[in-house]
């Protein structure tokens, strides 16, 4: 097997397969491999197997622009998404470029050699192998695949029932006719509750604070109509742009008119649950819409199981665990046969790979995001990181397009190294991920920063990013290039 390639892609999920597709199409002269730490492709959609796991955005935008989503449901289940990723990789011959159970532990850039050298553990016995590449492309996602976040609750060891984190769900978990408490209020919790309520005796969603929740049809009637009467390629692009523009419209509406948006969301929930339900208690967060991601429920499934008496929401904090359940700060107790801790993720950038530049390890919090593609002082490097306010894949495809532009530009000009270097006047005082969600707040000491203007600012806006990624200058003031015979510049940044 080739141990040196032009581009190494780390991770075979949605963004890794997209990166491979664009490299094949736009840089056909380049060799590449995908190293995947797990035993199968799919990333998130292969890892998560909890009941009801599904997309929280429509497949016309979560899916690829180059391969139409032909499923009947726009909001679909995890198994269908995993199959879509697998089918895409097979259709374009990408599956043959993936090496499974290849876990990268360390990557070092050598300016003298203008290449990355990676230390890799292979298989269950962790055989050590070395790979190298001219360009390193991280498609590892943003969280720790090995473990989710569980708070340090008092007396947790007293609980005698099953305690499960959704990230560790297994097929042998039996919740039929059992009382279940799901701790959390995010996308995982609102997915689990209606899915488990079908067979459980009762499911209680215990939340510390509410989340904004909106319902939309699982099937996109307009998109399905387009696919019924138009060629698939045209229908796909129309459906995709319809979803993109509507999502942008509602996001901007929420940010510009937060009070009106809050009111509108609560009125819709009141209609779902009836006039006697105190919706403000359980559905009005102490922050504005899109300070954190909104939660989507398809076809009102959460509200339907609540109306049927199969599920309920309790807004309270946990004082501690008992042998049979939870003791709440209000003095109430919740008994449960099973407690599911849908309490969030642990951020892990670049798959937790130790990275060094000319032997010096970098401090990730000192880095500055460049175009949302790479970071200051990291040569020949890209990281796929999707939108926080739209489908992940939209941004990841634009990043893949930009990386191909960058690689082709370097070949044309004879450059062997590209390094984003901010000016001394840049003041990066804002997190590169501008959400107030708990998992982001907990990781502020490792998340890179961003500036206040292009190319050091992440706009979270697809239309602005199209211009930035497809049409902006490659050789702007932020990106510095070097040819093979040029002197090696001294390392900069905080390492």
Residue 98 lies in a domain: yes
CB contact at 8 A, 10 and 353: yes
Same structural domain for residues 197 and 330? yes
Same domain (yes/no): 126, 8: yes
Q: Is the same domain home to 9 and 84?
A: yes
Out of 341, 371, 394, a domain closes at 341
Q: Residue 317's pLDDT band (boundaries 50, 70, 90)?
A: very high
Q: In terms of domains, do 179 and 299 share one?
A: yes
Rounded to the nearest 5°, which phi and psi values hold at 426?
-70, 130
Note whether residue 494 is domain-resident.
Answer: no
- Give a yes or no: residue 267 inside a domain: yes
**301 lies in the same domain as 398:** no
Q: Which of 404, 403, 433 is nearest to 420 (CA)?
A: 403
Residue 443 has a pLDDT of: 83
Are both 137 and 184 inside the same structural domain?
Answer: no
> Mean pLDDT of all residues in the chain?
95
Specify if 287 maps to a domain: yes
The answer to whether the pTM exceeds 0.85 is yes
If asked whether residues 307 and 361 sit together in one domain, one would say no
What own/partner pairs with CB < 8 Å and gap ≥ 24 does 258-263 have? 258/288, 258/289, 261/288, 261/289, 262/212, 262/288, 262/289
What tens digit of pLDDT does each residue of 62-87 get?
A: 999 999 999 999 999 999 999 999 99
pLDDT for res 284: 97
Residue that is last in its domain, among 341, 373, 388: 341
What whole-number percentage of the chain has pLDDT above 90? 88
Q: Are both 215 and 127 inside the same structural domain? A: no
Are 169 and 65 in a shared domain? Answer: no
Tokens of 476: 């702007």
Which one, of 292, 293, 245, lies nearest residue 466 by Cα?
245
| Residue that finishes a domain, picked among 290, 308, 341 | 341
Distances (CA, A) of 99 to 2, 9, 251, 425: 11, 10, 39, 43
pLDDT at 25 over 70: yes
Could you tell me if residue 27 is inside a domain? Answer: yes
* 495 domain-assigned: no
Task: Tell me the sheet residues that pair with 217.
Answer: none
The count of structural domains within the chain is: 2
d(CA 196, CA 389): 27
For residue 462, what are its two tokens?
A: 């697809």
Q: Are residues 133 and 213 in the same domain?
A: no
The CATH number linked to 59 is 3.50.50.60
Q: Are residues 330 and 187 in the same domain?
A: yes
Q: So what's the pLDDT on residue 468?
A: 95
Is position 150 within any domain?
Answer: no
User: Is 129 part of any domain?
Assistant: yes
- Residues above pLDDT 70, as percent of the chain: 98
109 and 182 inside one domain: no
Per residue in 247-271, pLDDT tens? 999 999 999 999 999 999 999 999 9
Q: Which domain holds residue 94?
A: 4-145+347-483
């Amino acid at each position: 097997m080739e141990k040196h390639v032009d581009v190494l892609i780390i991770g075979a999920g949605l963004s890794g397969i997209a990166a491979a597709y664009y490299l094949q199409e736009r840089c056909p002269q380049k060799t590449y491999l995908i190293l995947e730490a797990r035993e199968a492709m799919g990333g998130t959609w292969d890892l998560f197997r909890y009941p009801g796991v599904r997309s929280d955005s429509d497949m016309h935008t979560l899916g690829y622009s180059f391969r139409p989503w032909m499923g009947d449901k726009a909001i679909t289940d995890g198994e269908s998404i995993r199959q879509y990723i697998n089918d895409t990789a097979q259709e374009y011959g990408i599956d043959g470029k993936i090496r499974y159970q290849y876990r990268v532990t360390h990557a070092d850039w050598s300016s003298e050699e203008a290449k990355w050298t990676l230390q890799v553990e292979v298989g269950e016995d962790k055989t050590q192998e070395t790979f190298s590449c001219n360009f390193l492309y991280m498609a590892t996602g943003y969280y720790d695949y090995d473990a989710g976040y569980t708070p340090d609750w008092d007396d947790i060891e007293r609980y005698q029932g099953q305690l499960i984190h959704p990230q560790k769900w297994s097929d042998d978990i039996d919740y039929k006719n059992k009382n279940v408490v799901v701790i959390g209020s995010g996308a995982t919790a609102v997915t689990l509750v209606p899915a488990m309520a079908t067979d459980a005796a009762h499911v209680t969603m215990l939340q510390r604070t509410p989340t904004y929740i909106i319902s939309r049809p699982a099937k996109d009637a307009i998109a399905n109509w387009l696919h019924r009467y138009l060629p698939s390629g045209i229908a796909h692009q129309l459906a995709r742009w319809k979803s993109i523009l509507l999502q942008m419209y509602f996001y901007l509406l929420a940010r510009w008119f937060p009070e009106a948006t809050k009111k509108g969301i609560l009125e819709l929930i009141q209609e779902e649950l009836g006039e006697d339900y105190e919706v403000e208690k359980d559905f009005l967060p102490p922050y504005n819409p899109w300070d954190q991601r909104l939660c989507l429920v398809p076809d009102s499934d959460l509200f339907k199981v609540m109306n049927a008496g199969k599920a309920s929401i309790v807004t309270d904090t946990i004082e501690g665990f008992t042998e049979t359940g939870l003791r709440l700060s209000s003095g109430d107790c919740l008994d449960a046969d099973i407690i599911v801790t849908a309490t969030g993720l642990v951020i892990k950038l670049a798959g937790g790979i130790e990275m060094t530049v000319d032997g010096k390890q970098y401090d990730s919090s000192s880095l500055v995001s460049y175009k949302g593609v790479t970071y200051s002082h990291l040569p020949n490097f890209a990281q796929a990181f999707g939108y926080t306010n739209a489908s992940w894949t939209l941004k990841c495809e634009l990043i893949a397009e930009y990386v191909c532009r960058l690689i082709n530009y370097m070949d044309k000009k004879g450059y062997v190294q590209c390094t984003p270097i901010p000016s001394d006047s840049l003041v990066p005082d804002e997190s590169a991920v501008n959400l107030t969600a708990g998992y982001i707040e907990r990781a502020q000491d490792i998340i890179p920063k961003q500036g206040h203007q292009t190319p050091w600012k992440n706009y979270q806006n697809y239309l602005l990013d199209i211009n930035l990624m497809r049409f902006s200058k490659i050789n702007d003031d932020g990106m510095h290039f070097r040819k093979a015979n040029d002197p090696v510049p001294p390392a900069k940044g905080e390492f």
